[in-house]
Each structure stands twice: as C-alpha cells, then as structure tokens.
C-alpha cells in the first residue's frame, strides 16, 4: 500500500487512486479518461442536435441523429427567435364494428381537448397529460417526409406509438370517448390553428387553420396486446 508523509512528519496511508497498486492506478486513470471523453462527446452531440443548422450538422446530421434518437431526444431548440404562434390539436376518427357486424365511421374526436381538460385547474398536472400526445405527433411529423411516407424504422415505430396512445382513449375500460364497438381502423389528423395577433398590433395574420390528414391504420390484435401491457 502506498503512503505519504504529512507536514508533521507522520507517515499516513495514501488515499484515492494513489492507494491502489500501479496496475490498478493505470486502469483507473484510463477508465476516467474514457468517461471524460464519452461525456464530452455526448455534450457535443446534444449541442449539435439542438443548435441551428450548420456546416457540421449538414455533413454529419445522420450521425448526430443516430446518437440522439431515441434515448436522448431534446424537444426544444437552443436558439428559437420565433415562439410558437399556433395551437395544434390531434383528432381521431375510427371505423367501428358493432356487435351485429355492421361497420360505421365515427366523427372526429379531439384528443388534445381531452388533455387540456385534464390539465385545466390541476395544481400538479402530470407530464403525460401535458406532453405525451404533443411529443408523439411531433415525432411522427419528423419521422415522415412531406408526402407522409415513413423515414425507415423510426417512421414505422412512430406510427405504432401513435396507435398505442390513441387506442385506449377510444376503446376498452377507461376510454375517455368510447366509440361503442370494436375499433377496426383509425385515422388521425393534425389541425394547426394560428393564434390571432393581439388587438394592439398592426400585424396582419391569417387565422385559417391548416389540416394534415394521416392515412387509415388497421388495428390488429398485436396493437391491443401491446396496449393492454402498457396500461
């Protein structure tokens, strides 16, 4: 065991890494250095992910995304000169099979309005009530191209995640808007309603909502089993 002599001349055992034998000191030093490099790399990747588009992200954007998603996603921007100026709602309609076997299509159900109602008046609203649906629809949009086609595995996974969130809200025990039958298919749409300019502003801003309609998705037994597992 290593030791050192203090100011009073007394010989005392060394502490920390110095108390280890030389081989273990080398291993400990290499491990600490590796952790420091990993931490620096992670911070750099997070910074590049949230920073505005630049030369590095244009050349190595895929490498940054591979590092960040899905465990380290940051749903905010480091530099955001323009705050959000629209309210986004997620709505669903379903094709339902009645006990007689007759199929019907429901009207549009506003899922975002359900979340708003749960949060309103709550002193300590839950994170899921505030953000789960909003983050899911953001992920879906980022994981699909302008034509609505999924971008590889992440796009297909985002569709599965949306089905898992939506299905228990309209079917089964505890459903907020039980559609009264077996859900065979669902369709989602994203409705963005611009916030009007304040009365004291001269800004002319259109308040016409824009709607993005997603394709119909079949609901399978696998969707239901995954939903039951996550309840």
Quote the percentage of the chain above a pLDDT of 70: 84
Within this chain, do residues 90 and 64 fall inside the same structural domain, yes or no?
A: no
Please give the distance of CA 213 from its chain centroid, rounded to a whole number: 20
Q: Flag whether 19 is in a domain.
A: yes
Q: How far is CA 175 from CA 6, 81, 106, 114, 209, in A?
A: 71, 39, 15, 11, 28
Within this chain, do residues 41 and 113 fall inside the same structural domain, yes or no?
A: no
Within this chain, do residues 20 and 100 fall inside the same structural domain, yes or no?
A: no
SS3 46: helix
Within this chain, do residues 169 and 113 fall inside the same structural domain, yes or no?
A: yes
Q: Flag whether 76 is in a domain.
A: no
Within this chain, do residues 152 and 197 fall inside the same structural domain, yes or no?
A: yes
Within this chain, do residues 15 and 98 fall inside the same structural domain, yes or no?
A: no
Within this chain, do residues 197 and 110 fall inside the same structural domain, yes or no?
A: yes
Q: Which residue would you say has higher pLDDT here, 2 or 29?
A: 29
Within this chain, do residues 30 and 92 fall inside the same structural domain, yes or no?
A: no
| 45 contacts 64 by C-beta, under 8 angstroms | yes
Q: Which residue would you say has higher pLDDT here, 175 or 3?
A: 175
Query: What's the confidence (pLDDT) of residue 107?
Result: 93
Query: What's the confidence (pLDDT) of residue 51?
Result: 84
Over residues 53-105, the pLDDT tens digits come to 888 888 888 888 888 876 777 666 555 555 667 888 999 999 999 888 789 99
For residue 18, give every residue at least 6 positions away whose Cβ sits within 8 Å of its Cβ, in sequence order, or none: 2, 4, 25
Range of the domain at 222: 86-230
What's the predicted TM-score (pTM) here? 0.64
Q: What does the alpha-carbon distance between residue 136 and residue 117 come to, in Å, rounded to a whole number?
A: 19
Over residues 184-220, the pLDDT tens digits come to 999 999 999 888 888 888 878 788 889 999 999 999 8
The domain tally of the chain equals 2
């Amino acid at each position: 065991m290593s030791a050192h002599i203090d100011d009073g001349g007394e010989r005392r055992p060394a502490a920390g890494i110095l108390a280890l034998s030389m081989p273990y000191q080398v291993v400990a030093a290499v491990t600490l250095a590796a952790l420091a490099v990993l931490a620096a790399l992670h911070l750099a990747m997070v910074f590049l992910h949230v920073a505005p588009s630049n030369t590095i992200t244009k050349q190595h954007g895929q490498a940054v995304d591979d590092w960040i998603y899905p465990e380290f996603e940051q749903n905010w921007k480091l530099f955001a000169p323009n705050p959000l100026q629209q309210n986004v709602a997620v709505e669903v309609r379903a094709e339902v099979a009645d006990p007689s076997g007759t199929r019907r299509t429901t009207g549009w159900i506003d899922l975002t309005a359900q979340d708003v109602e749960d949060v309103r008046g709550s002193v300590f609203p839950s994170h899921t009530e505030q953000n789960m649906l909003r983050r899911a629809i953001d992920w879906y949009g980022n994981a699909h191209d302008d034509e609505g086609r999924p971008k590889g595995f992440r796009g297909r996974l985002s569709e599965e995640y949306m089905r898992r969130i939506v299905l228990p809200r309209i079917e089964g025990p505890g459903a907020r808007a039980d559609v009264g039958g077996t859900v065979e298919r669902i369709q989602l749409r994203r409705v963005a309603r611009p916030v009007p300019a304040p009365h004291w502003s001269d800004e002319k801003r259109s308040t016409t909502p824009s709607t993005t309609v997603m394709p119909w998705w079949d609901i399978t037994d696998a969707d239901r089993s995954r939903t039951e597992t996550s309840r």
